[in-house]
Amino acid sequence: MQEEDLRPLDYIHSWNKIRGDLAVRFLFGLAIWLLVPLIPTFILANELGFTAANFTTPLITGLFLTALYFRKKLTTREISIIVVAGMSLIYLISVYTFGVLSSANVWFFPIVLMANVLFGSAIAFMLASFLLAGFSLAAYGFITGWLHLPSEASNYFFSKSVWVMQISFGIIVFGFVLFIVSKMQSTLVNQYNVINEKNIRIAHLANHDPLTGLATLRLAKDRFDLALQMASRSKKNLALLFLDLDSFKLINDRFGHDVGDAVLKEVAIRLQKEIRESDTACRIGGDEFLIILSEVSGKEEVKFLCQRLIDHVTRPILLGEHNHVVGISIGAAIYPDCGETLEELRKRADASMYEVKRGGKNSFSVAS
């Protein structure tokens, strides 16, 4: 149970793994995105004039590629800082160079989205405020005249290269946003499946005996409540069997616990084979078992099943070179004659089982 226990730290680890995976994906996508238009950007700069953006973008692209190469030596946080800081720097330099004509304007929301994913909403909010403040300052600069376009505005409006670049950047940004969302979705789904599978294993361990795989008393209580509802609706009986192995301690003492465990496993298998899918076999500890029989016709059916269980459980169990034989004493109590709750039926079945023990063992008794 401890090996499968999913503590809160496991959820934190899972989310950190998601962030680490996304940070590397962002770094790869951005490096490729900045690398591809590098030559067209220089051609455009040659036509309209070189700017600071033409020099900083290749430098940041080189930074991304270097970080990508050394990604295994960097922490998730370091990669995340490189991604968000690099793109924020490109955004601000481009805005201060080209103003509203900057193709980087469309990157505001993707940058904030990446920051939110990698650092959380608080950091994303502060970054958005900082970028908006920078954009507002650039707007003030262009309006008052202390910032100027690197070429006449009309040159940008009538340049085919500018329009092609703007449209291309818009398409690439749209594609990159889809890339981010799809990767986030696939990563989250994968991590959800991992956590869900682990939770299923935890639930199974909590409700099933780790040695035999039979239901625990906790699960048996739920199954009893369900069987009780079915019996009430169908106006039929249900029965509770209390089973205790005979001579099991002798096998355990003589051959060891490993052999004893193997005997218990085989007994559990035989019990499961003799009951219906709607019935529940439960190991309540040591060599004691409970069986809940849902919708039985009456005492005769219970007696028939008890005898069948004895016949099958007492068959020799071959383990290695030895045949091991255990007996089984069964006490049975029937609802509603012997009680209407699990505890009432269990007490009556337990008392009947000890009557069998006192009378010679390896038999059954149905409480009346």
pLDDT for res 319: 86
Q: Which domains, from first to last, does the chain contain? A: 8-203 (no CATH), 217-366 (3.30.70.270)
241 pLDDT higher than 90: yes
- Per-residue pLDDT band for 361 (boundaries 50, 70, 90) equals confident
pTM for the whole thing?
A: 0.53
283-to-129, 200, 234 alpha-carbon distances in Å = 62, 20, 28
Proportion of the chain above pLDDT 70, given as a percent: 74
83, 24 contact by CB (below 8 A): no
Quick one: CA torsion of 254, 255, 260, 261, rounded to 10 degrees? 150
Which comes out higher in pLDDT, residue 175 or 305? 305
Inform me whether the pLDDT recorded for 288 exceeds 80. Answer: yes
Residue 284's φ and ψ, nearest 5 degrees, are -105, 5
E strands, the chain, in order: 237-246, 280-285, 288-296, 317-319, 322-324, 327-335, 364-366
Q: How many Å apart are CA 37 and CA 92, to the nearest integer? A: 19
pLDDT band at 3 (very low <50, low <70, confident <90, very high): very low
| Pairs from 194-199 (Cβ < 8 Å, separation ≥ 24) | 194/14, 195/6, 195/10, 195/11, 195/14, 198/4, 198/6, 198/10, 199/6
Which of 32-46, 77-91, 219-233, 275-289 is the most confident on average? Answer: 275-289
Which of 195-209, 220-234, 250-264 has the largest mean confidence?
250-264
Cβ-contact 261, 292 below 8 angstroms: no
Summarize the confidence of residues 113-119 as an average pLDDT.
81
Instruction: Please provide residue 328's backbone torsions phi and psi, each rounded to the nearest 5 degrees.
Output: -150, 130
